[in-house]
A and B are shown apart, each in its own frame.
Chain A
Amino acid sequence: QGVSLGGSFATDPAAPVEVTADSLSVDQATGAATFTGDVVIGQGGLRLSAGTVEVFYDAATGAIARLLASGGVTLATPDEAAEAEGADYDLTARTLILTGDVLLTQGQSAVSGERLVVDLDAGTARMEGRVRTVLGGPPP
């Protein structure tokens, strides 16, 4: 079962994506690219920071299809914040899925669960898996 939540997750699909990190390693044989060290992905009002981010891109056109974040992830939007173990930002499907002990705080309420699926077009989110809602602020 899941809980749908409103929110201001919407991002402009054409907004440039900025990634900053300590380093980026590109494997010359396979083309695999991985950002490591304080990685921050920014697009519009959305900020996703993580320890490591792997880039899945189309070698021919250079278009990024997916950003796979791991090593502890925090998501920040103008009025929400979320924490999880990992995140999968699919730029083509326009979805952002946080997984692993997800805790989402919105104003005074906090929701925790196993998976948070964010629809970046509609700007809505859906928490799934052992969902617990805490009103009146995050659990003490």
Chain B
Amino acid sequence: MAEPGFRIPFRRRSRAIAWAKVLLPLAALALLSTMFLLARAPAGPDSIPFARLEEIAREPRIDRPRLSGVAPDGTTVTLSADRLTPLPGREDVYAVAAPRLETRTPGGGTATLTAGTGEVDGPARRLRLAGGVRVEASPATAVETPEVTADLSTGTAITGPVTGTAPFGAIEAGWLALEAGDGAGAARLLFDGGVRLLYHPQVTAEGP
């Protein structure tokens, strides 16, 4: 008969395998079931915003539009907004919500016009900004005006009465024209219609 030392390890191993044959499939079954039993129920049909879908479908519009182009003299003109909605009854004219017009001239002159509302006339490539317009332009100019009319093909714009800061003082003017460079002259800001500038000298301490 084989010595008992040899048989015991054999009997213990066969018992371990017998247990394994039972426990391992059970563990597998448990793992598999978690995939089905605990999975989230699929979202019901009510979570699809049907109401908004109808509204979106009925009212043609573009959310967060962004149009940009380059003017003949190299000025890049970019118009972005929250929303662009065609105006009923007016062909190719769109209402713009929170429009933002940015122009950059080859010479490095930049201008950013932001407004509450606006209107884009496609064929005429004209943008009218209203509802309080803020114009920030290099160098160091920031003015407010009630409304602005901008030509999207050249990047030029004419404002209403303006007040704000010029590069060297507080300024008021009848209007401000943002003129693109005409090849020879660089782009410039032309305050016109009567200008008043107030400058406060920064007197250094050791003045006379």
Contact string, A16-39, partner B, CB cutoff 8 A, digits 1/0? 111111111111111101010000
The residue that B198 contacts in the complex, of A13, A14, A16, with Cβ under 8 A, is A16
Interface size of B by CB at 8 A reads: 38
Which residues on A sit within 8 Å (CB–CB) of B141?
26
Q: Which of A53-61, A79-87, A128-136 contacts B (4 or more CB under 8 A)?
A: A53-61
Q: Is A117 an interface residue (CB 8 A)?
A: no
Q: Is B192 an interface residue (CB 8 A)?
A: yes
Interface size of A by CB at 8 A reads: 31
Closest to A61 in B: B202
Which residues on A sit within 8 Å (CB–CB) of B192?
22-23
Asked if B208 and A91 make an inter-chain contact with CB atoms under 8 angstroms apart, the answer reads no
Q: Is A63 an interface residue (CB 8 A)?
A: yes
Contact string, B197-208, partner A, CB cutoff 8 A, digits 1/0? 111111100011
Closest CB-CB distance, A27 to chain B, in whole Å? Answer: 5
Which residues on A sit within 8 Å (CB–CB) of B105?
28-29
Which residues on B sit within 8 Å (CB–CB) of A91?
201
Contact string, A46-73, partner B, CB cutoff 8 A, digits 1/0? 0000000001010101111000000000
Which residues on A sit within 8 Å (CB–CB) of B197?
18-20, 24, 35
Which residues on B sit within 8 Å (CB–CB) of A29?
105, 107-109, 181, 186-187
Q: Is B65 an interface residue (CB 8 A)?
A: no
Closest CB-CB distance, B157 to chain A, in whole Å? Answer: 13
Closest to B175 in A: A23
Asked if A28 and B109 make an inter-chain contact with CB atoms under 8 angstroms apart, the answer reads yes
Which residues on B sit within 8 Å (CB–CB) of A22?
192-195
Per the bound structure, the CA–CA distance linking A9 and B119 in Å amounts to 54
Q: Is B158 an interface residue (CB 8 A)?
A: no
Which residues on B sit within 8 Å (CB–CB) of A55?
168
Which residues on B sit within 8 Å (CB–CB) of A121?
208
Per the bound structure, the CA–CA distance linking A59 and B171 in Å amounts to 16
Q: Is B196 an interface residue (CB 8 A)?
A: yes
Asked if B195 and A24 make an inter-chain contact with CB atoms under 8 angstroms apart, the answer reads yes
Starting from the known contacts A24-B166, A28-B138, A35-B195, 19 additional A-B residue pairs (CB-CB under 8 Å) come to: A14-B200, A14-B201, A17-B169, A17-B201, A19-B199, A20-B195, A21-B195, A24-B171, A24-B197, A25-B191, A26-B188, A27-B186, A28-B107, A28-B139, A28-B189, A29-B105, A29-B109, A63-B168, A64-B199
- B interface residues (Cβ-Cβ under 8 A, vs A): 105, 107-110, 137-141, 166-169, 171, 173, 181, 185-203, 207-208
**7 tightest Cβ-Cβ pairs between the two chains A and B:** A28-B109, A29-B107, A29-B186, A57-B168, A23-B192, A24-B191, A14-B203
